[in-house]
Amino acid sequence: MIQRRLRREEAAPPRPAFYALSPGGWRDYWSLLHPPYTLWHLSYAALGAAVAPRVDGGYLAATVVAFFLGVGVTAHALDELRGRPLRTRIPPGALMALAAVALAGAVALGALGAARVSWWLLAFVGFGAFIVLAYNLELLGGWFHNDLWFGLSWGAFPVLTAYFAQAATIRWPAVLVALAAFFLTLAQRRLSTPVRDLRRRVAQVEGRIVYGDGTEAPMSAATLRLAPEAALRTLSLAMPLLAGGMVAARFL
């Protein structure tokens, strides 16, 4: 099975991501959303809500939609605007419009939530709007564009925000889940960074693997990214299933 996957990967034209479709039309917008990673990070919001003392389905839905607009659309549209890492053909004006409208929608949902839950929720809304711009546009000399801030903003922050939207406070269960999301996000980053380099920047890999029994195998970009990419695929399925199970347990 592993050898068959390797042969398929090596025979196919290189893609900028394992979930990216061929460029053009609606396929560009699918690729832009980074579906596996977006679902992964939306799972953190669901987990944050699931560990709250009480879970309001409406507040949970609004929180997930707000993070989808902020992370799934705004962040990825701004990222594609800088250097076209996914090689889409979406016009720059369309990317800017998507980012602006999605961010405005996320902020509006946050403001409505603050009016219903607690005005302190505006602090979460303000930080979310700031970090999506600071990280993806590499503001302040790229000071926020690093693994630490990625883990905090894309991992811990959705957990804490979703919990606060339910409970209007932060307690230890939320902090522990947020720490878990932080380290999971760092693990994702450590796996995805070399995979991205192999798919988007590396032109050629030369070498061979020599096993203990003396047999040899050629080394290629597909060989190097096989294990970390398989882990990313697996985790991107596991996290939504875990979050879905946790949320379902609160309502059933």
> Which of 219, 218, 159, 204 is closest to 184 using CA atoms?
159
Concatenated DSSP letters of 212-232: TTS-EEE--HHHHHHHHHHHH
Instruction: Show me where the domains of the chain are located.
Output: 2-251
How confident is the model at residue 185, as a pLDDT?
A: 98
Q: Which residues contact 123 (CB under 8 A, 6 or more apart)?
A: none
Task: Tell me the pLDDT tens digit for each residue of 6-62.
Answer: 556 555 667 899 999 999 999 999 999 999 999 999 999 999 999 999 999 999 999
Task: Tell me the pLDDT tens digit for each residue of 190-210.
Answer: 999 999 999 988 888 888 988
The values of phi and psi at residue 208, to 5°, are: -150, 155
How confident is the model at residue 91, as a pLDDT?
A: 96
What is the sign, positive or negative, of the torsion defined by CA atoms of 108, 128, 188, 77?
Answer: positive
Residue that the structure tokens 């560009």 belong to:
28
Q: Are 154 and 41 in contact (CB under 8 A)?
A: yes
Q: What is the mean pLDDT of residues 214-238?
A: 91
Q: What is the mean pLDDT of residues 203-218?
A: 87
Average pLDDT, the chain: 93
From residue 223, how far is each of 18, 19, 36, 85, 218 by CA, in Å?
A: 14, 18, 22, 22, 8
Kindly calculate the radius of gyration of the chain based on its CA atoms and give it in whole angstroms: 20
Q: Are 178 and 159 in contact (CB under 8 A)?
A: yes
Predicted confidence (pLDDT) at residue 99 exceeds the cutoff of 80: yes
Whether this prediction's pTM lies above 0.85 is answered by yes
